[in-house]
Structure 1
Amino acid sequence: MKVSKKIMISLISILFISFSGCDSSKMEDESLSAEGERTTFNLKLNFSSITTPGTKSFLKSTGDPNATEAEAKVGTVDVFIYGESGYYISHTSLSVADFTQVEGSGTSDKYQYASTTKIPATTGPKKIFVAVNLPSGVAAALEDKPSNELTQVAQTLAANQLVAADGSIVMTSTELLTYEFVKNGAANNPTISVERMVAKVTAQKAADMVQAGVPGTLFDMRFAINNFNSKSYFIQGAAPDFKDPNWDVYTASDFSEATANDYIRVNEPDVTDPRNLNALYAAENTSQYHRVKEITRAQVRAGFLPASVVIYGNGNYIEVTSASQGKTAPQTFYTIILSRPEPQIYCFFDRTTAENYAVANGKTAADIVTYTDGLCYWDMYLNKNVWDVLRNDYYKCTVTRILVPGRPTDDPKDPDSPPASDVDITINVEVVYWNDPVLGNYELEP
């Protein structure tokens, strides 16, 4: 256990010490006395409800139907204590070895662990903040900072800081707890609930997923998180808006887009256990106007091979199967939309043929859309009609219909407007474990 304390010394005390020659131990005793008498406490942490007994590695077997062992893992616990007015007092670093399961917990709505190591404090009203799995450098940076650092100061946290390589996730207090410490340390048992600072996102094909639009074959459907928000508060903003640092001001540099390597496979319909689904994580992101460029989205990417293409032969433009052209896998293709009288999409493997066809039908080269390497993109905007991504929520997305060929790039559609949707989703923001999944059925269109 590591303890870092800030000693509060009055000007009078400093002058007295300088003239009287008091030693440092007496100085510390006096400054602590100004805070209150020395005492200790044992901390209790509330996690999600568990039906299987835990082990010293924390939630080794988890009864949460939506959480994997990695998502429930606890490695470190950092405890910060502040004075009643919010000034910093101390920081204590604990490990999982300092905790044990509370007897009888895990059978109700809370799963509880208590510290077996006593944490130093002083008597009187104090404020407590707890962070689980917080990178050590981030925790150290909070030392000597007042408590408003947790609720009012934007923290820049990258994806690999919020979710470690082993899958463990940063969790923080749901509130800054005010607690009255007494001299008898055995009577000091503050209980704090923690929640993950990220949302969980899965994408899965429906068993009866409908593929509409241009006939053809989709290959290797994958998804990624786009517009990942790098700015967070350690403690979530108050309801109903849950305002984050960029709620009313959009700064593009605060958000990051997925790279080609960030996409993971869309889950097949036969995966029924949520813990076995491929999952990604998104930082909390709320906004006042909910414009597309501001909100977090899950983006689907797939390769597409059209069933037929237009070629030029014997003085005519004719449609032939892609197979007849020796094409069996996605590759760059081109499209032109003509109204005859309804809009119809025509596909080409050859750019020159597409340009000539465009001119022959009153179009120009500017009307040609290029799908490089056959890749197509669709957006799933999370938390439909609310659009805010909230920490500790689980967004379970099911693709029920997909309109191909989708968009040719990962650029968002209509970035300065809110997404269009007619589906309402309700979120239970009171639950402090992976909340019941926020289910969303998606029809993917360009």
Structure 2
Amino acid sequence: MKVKKRIAILLISILFISLSGCDGSKMENDSSSAEGENTTFNINLNFSSITAPGKKSLLKSTGDPNATEAEAKVKTVDVFIYGESGYYISHTSLSVTDFTQVGGSGTSDKYQYASTTKIPATTGSKKLFVAVNLPPGMATALEDKPSNELTQVAQTLTANDLVATDGSIVMTSTELLTYEFVKNGAANNPTISVERMVAKVTAQKAANMVQAGVPGTLFDMRFAINNFNSKSYFIQGVAPDFKDPNWDVYTASDFSKASANDYIPVNEPNVTDTKNLNALYAAENTSQNHREKEITRAQVRAGFLPATVVIYQGGGYISVTSASQGKTAPQTFYTITLNQPEPQTYCFFDRATAESYAVANGKTAANIVTYTDGISYWDMYLNKGVWDVLRNDYYKCTITRILIPGRPTDDPTDPDNPPASDVDITINVEVVYWNDPVLGNYELEP
């Protein structure tokens, strides 16, 4: 255990005024006057599924059917104490060996871990904050900072900060807990509830997933988190909006775009155990306007080989199979959509053929869409109708229908407006949390 404590200095100023008859006054530093007598306490970490008005369910660690061992792992615990008015008092660093499980079983919904190591404190009313698995540098940076650093100061937290390489996740207090410490250390047993600072996202094909639109074969369906929000508060904003630092101000540099290496395989229908699903994690992201460019989305990417393409042969345009052209894997192709009277999309491997076909049908080269390397993209905006991604949520996405081809780029369709309607993505969401999945069925269209 490591403890760092701020030494409060009492400043005494005595002013003698010879004619007033006053013999002085004492100016006290807030922290000095409120510290009290030395005592100790043992802290309980609560991972139980509890609710309160305006608050969502909290996570369960052990026994959670939707959490992997890594997602439930506790490695380090940092305990911060503040005075009643929010001034910093101390920081104690603990490891998992300083705790023991005191509640819960495989069927219980309550899990608590109690510290077996005494933590120093002083008597009186104090405020407590706990961070689990917080990178050491970030814990140290909170020292000598007031408690409003936790609720009002934007923290820059990357995906690597929030989720370690071993899969363990940063968890923080759900609130700044006020606790009255007494002289008898054995009587001091505050319980603090913590929750993960990220949301969990999985994407899976439905067993009867419908592939609509242009006939052909999809290859290597993958998904990634796009528009990852790098700005968060250590303690979540209050209900109902859960406002984060970007709530009413959009700064493009605060959001990161998924790279090609960030995409992981979409889960196949036969994966039935939630713990075995490929998963990604998204930082909390709430917004006032919910424009596509500022909200977080799970993005699907796949290669596509059209079943047939148009070629020019014998003085006319004919449709032939891709296999007849020696094509068996995704590669760059071009599309033109004609209204006859319903929209009909035609595919080409040859750009020149596509251009001449466009002109012959009253179109121009500007009407040609290029799918480089045969790659298409589809968006799954999470938490339908709300569009906010909240910490400790689990968004379990099932793809029920996908319209081929998707978009040729990973850019949002309409960046300055909210997601339009169910025409692009159909989501049925049951609003529950990580101890139960947020269920969503998706129809993917470009």
Partner of 2:139: 139
Partner of 2:429: 425
Q: Is the 8 A contact 1:400 1:441 kept in 2?
A: yes
Whole-angstrom distance in 2 between the partners of 1:359 and 1:141: 64
Partner of 2:404: 404
Partner of 1:204: 204
Q: Is the 8 A contact 2:377 2:406 kept in 1?
A: yes
Partner of 2:90: 90
Q: Is the 8 A contact 1:133 1:169 kept in 2?
A: yes
Whole-angstrom distance in 1 between the partners of 2:274 and 2:32: 50
Consecutive unaligned residues in structure 1, runs of 5 or more: 15-30, 50-58
Whole-angstrom distance in 2 between the partners of 1:283 and 1:148: 21
1:103-182 to structure 2, matched below 5 A, reads 103=103, 108-182=108-182
* Offset of residue 48 of structure 1: 4.4
Whole-angstrom distance in 1 between the partners of 2:285 and 2:431: 15
Whole-angstrom distance in 1 between the partners of 2:33 and 2:379: 59
Matched residue type, 1:408? P
Aligned in 2, Cα 1:131/1:275: closer, same or farther, shift over 3 Å? same
Whole-angstrom distance in 1 between the partners of 2:100 and 2:436: 27
Q: Is the 8 A contact 2:103 2:111 kept in 1?
A: no
Partner of 2:260: 260
Partner of 2:353: 353
**SS at the partner of 1:143?**
coil
Aligned in 2, Cα 1:217/1:13: closer, same or farther, shift over 3 Å? farther
**SS at the partner of 1:81?**
strand
TM-score by length of 2: 0.91
Q: Is the 8 A contact 1:174 1:235 kept in 2?
A: yes
Whole-angstrom distance in 2 between the partners of 1:359 and 1:140: 66
Partner of 2:80: 80
Aligned in 2, Cα 1:13/1:162: closer, same or farther, shift over 3 Å? farther
The superposition leaves residues 346-366 of structure 1 with CA deviations (integer Å, 9 ceiling, x where unpaired) of 000001111111111111111
Whole-angstrom distance in 2 between the partners of 1:118 and 1:204: 46
* Offset of residue 67 of structure 1: 0.1
**SS at the partner of 1:12?**
coil
The percentage of counterpart residues that share the same residue type is 87
Whole-angstrom distance in 1 between the partners of 2:13 and 2:166: 48
Whole-angstrom distance in 2 between the partners of 1:107 and 1:326: 57
**SS at the partner of 2:209?**
strand
Structure with the higher helix share, 1 or 2: 1
Partner of 1:290: 290
Whole-angstrom distance in 2 between the partners of 1:389 and 1:325: 45
Matched residue type, 1:425? V
User: Are positions 1:375 and 2:375 aligned together?
Assistant: yes
Q: Is the 8 A contact 1:76 1:133 kept in 2?
A: yes
Partner of 1:100: 100
**SS at the partner of 2:86?**
coil
Aligned in 2, Cα 1:105/1:86: closer, same or farther, shift over 3 Å? farther
TM-score by length of 1: 0.91
User: Are positions 1:416 and 2:416 aligned together?
Assistant: yes
Partner of 1:218: 218
Q: Is the 8 A contact 1:337 1:344 kept in 2?
A: yes
Q: Is the 8 A contact 1:218 1:302 kept in 2?
A: yes
Matched residue type, 1:145? K
Partner of 1:191: 191
Consecutive unaligned residues in structure 2, runs of 5 or more: 15-30, 50-58
* Offset of residue 10 of structure 1: 1.8
Q: Is the 8 A contact 1:395 1:440 kept in 2?
A: yes
Whole-angstrom distance in 1 between the partners of 2:406 and 2:266: 16
* Offset of residue 103 of structure 1: 5.0
* Offset of residue 337 of structure 1: 0.7
Whole-angstrom distance in 1 between the partners of 2:151 and 2:320: 62
The superposition leaves residues 140-166 of structure 1 with CA deviations (integer Å, 9 ceiling, x where unpaired) of 000000000000000000000000000
**SS at the partner of 2:70?**
helix
